[in-house]
């Protein structure tokens, strides 16, 4: 199953009887799934179909769907609302006897909202039903195009995430081979520290110092952290290989990566190892940012 991005755009056109229409679909990142629609008056019944269909093929992302409809073949007509005009003229006559004002002009009266009405040509129930059915089919096509675009971007995201895992594996191997992790190096550093302490005072117990040194050495070991990072890398590769809506699970792994790398940095008492840990932290952050785009 292919990976899918949460971002994409699609457009479809259609026509039925006197109607022509156009769908525009745009999706962006989101924690869950949400379809937000803008439909012209009289076309609201398409919303239930669109939400059901989109929910079947998408699991994450906010999708904005906009439908534009035009009616061709018949011109709209203009009609004067006689009742509204009569009410305005009556009020104007009353006011004329109370205040000194210029009598209203014809263009002024016609410019008042509600006096002139735009009357759309009548359509048959059969034409409307057929047009809405065609618009639903056009939405389905736009939705499939959106899914295809998101999957194309998902392929690219999968390649980028795999590259981040390659980089992280190389850095883990570098940390494994760091001279500062060798037992003899750790022993030498601890011996120097113990010698410095013994020089400052003769009240230190050598046996107790030896026990403390062993405890410090155990705490400084990042073997477990490196093993867990390697395990997370393996899980990530497996999930990318299987595909599907894995964005949330990879986001969780990104947090786990970050936790282990931070522990490596805090335990490190070697400059080279610290620099390697900081490099791993940078790769993990790049990984996390890309995962945010994944469904």
Q: pLDDT (tens digit, 9 = 90+) per residue, 205-264? A: 666 656 655 565 665 678 889 999 999 999 999 999 999 999 999 999 999 999 999 998
Q: What's the rounded Cα separation, in Å, for the pair 257 and 104?
A: 76
Kindly indicate the confidence band of residue 268, based on its pLDDT and cuts at 50, 70 and 90. confident
Per-residue pLDDT at 131 exceeds 80 = yes
CATH of the domain at 217: 1.20.140
Whether residues 67 and 140 share a domain: the answer is: yes
Three-state DSSP class for residue 110: helix
Q: How many domains does the chain have?
A: 3
Whether residues 274 and 180 share a domain: the answer is: yes
Q: How many CB atoms lie within 10 A of CB 46?
A: 19
Q: Label residues 84-100 b or e (16+ Cβ within 10 Å = b).
A: bbeebeeeeeeeeeeee
Give, in order, the Cα–Cα distances in Å from 49 to each of 135, 146, 201.
Answer: 11, 17, 83
CATH of the domain at 145: 3.30.230.10
Whether residues 28 and 70 share a domain: the answer is: yes
Contacts (Cβ under 8 Å, ≥6 apart) of 230: 169, 172
- Per the CB < 8 A criterion, the answer to whether 279 and 286 are in contact is no
- Per the CB < 8 A criterion, the answer to whether 181 and 222 are in contact is yes
- Per the CB < 8 A criterion, the answer to whether 3 and 158 are in contact is yes
- State the pLDDT at residue 219: 59
**Cα 248 off chain centre by:** 11
Give domain status of residue 64, yes or no: yes
Give domain status of residue 1, yes or no: no
Domain extent for 88 = 77-119
Q: What's the rounded Cα separation, in Å, for the pair 105 and 7?
A: 55
Per-residue pLDDT at 187 exceeds 90 = no
In tens, the pLDDT along 69-108 reads: 998 766 567 778 778 777 877 777 776 767 766 677 777 7
Three-state DSSP class for residue 10: strand
- State the pLDDT at residue 45: 93
Average pLDDT value for residue range 104-127: 73
- Per the CB < 8 A criterion, the answer to whether 288 and 254 are in contact is yes
Give domain status of residue 232, yes or no: yes
Whether residues 36 and 132 share a domain: the answer is: yes
Whether residues 97 and 128 share a domain: the answer is: no
Question: What's the chain's length in residues?
Answer: 295
- Per the CB < 8 A criterion, the answer to whether 288 and 258 are in contact is yes
Whether residues 208 and 279 share a domain: the answer is: yes
Whether residues 142 and 161 share a domain: the answer is: no
- Per the CB < 8 A criterion, the answer to whether 26 and 64 are in contact is yes
- Per the CB < 8 A criterion, the answer to whether 150 and 27 are in contact is yes
- Per the CB < 8 A criterion, the answer to whether 45 and 6 are in contact is no
């Amino acid at each position: 199953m292919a990976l899918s991005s949460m971002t994409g755009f699609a457009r479809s056109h259609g026509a039925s009887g006197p109607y022509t229409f156009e769908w525009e679909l745009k999706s962006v990142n989101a924690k869950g799934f949400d379809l937000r629609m803008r439909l012209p008056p009289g076309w609201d019944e398409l919303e239930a179909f669109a939400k059901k269909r989109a929910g079947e093929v998408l699991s994450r992302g906010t999708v904005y769907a906009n439908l534009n409809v035009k009616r061709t073949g018949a011109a709209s007509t203009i009609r004067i609302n006689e009742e509204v005009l009569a009410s305005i003229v009556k009020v104007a006559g009353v006011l004329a006897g109370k205040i000194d004002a210029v009598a209203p002009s014809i263009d002024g009266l016609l410019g008042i909202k509600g006096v002139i009405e735009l009357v759309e040509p009548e359509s048959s129930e059969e034409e409307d039903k057929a047009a809405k059915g065609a618009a639903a089919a056009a939405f389905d096509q736009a939705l499939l195009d959106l899914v295809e675009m998101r999957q194309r971007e998902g392929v690219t995201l999968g390649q980028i995430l795999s590259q981040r895992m390659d980089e992280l594996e190389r850095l883990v191997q570098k940390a494994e081979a760091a001279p500062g992790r060798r037992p003899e190096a750790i022993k030498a550093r601890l011996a120097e520290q113990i010698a410095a302490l013994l020089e400052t005072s003769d009240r230190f117990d050598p046996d107790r110092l030896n026990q403390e040194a062993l405890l410090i050495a155990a705490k400084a070991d990042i073997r477990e952290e490196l093993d867990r990072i390697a395990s997370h890398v393996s899980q990530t590769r497996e999930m990318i290989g299987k595909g599907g809506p894995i964005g949330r699970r990879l986001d969780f792994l990104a947090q786990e990566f970050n936790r282990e790398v931070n522990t490596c940095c805090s335990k490190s008492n070697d400059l080279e190892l610290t620099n390697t840990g900081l490099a791993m932290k940078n790769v993990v952050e790049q990984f996390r940012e890309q995962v945010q785009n994944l469904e």
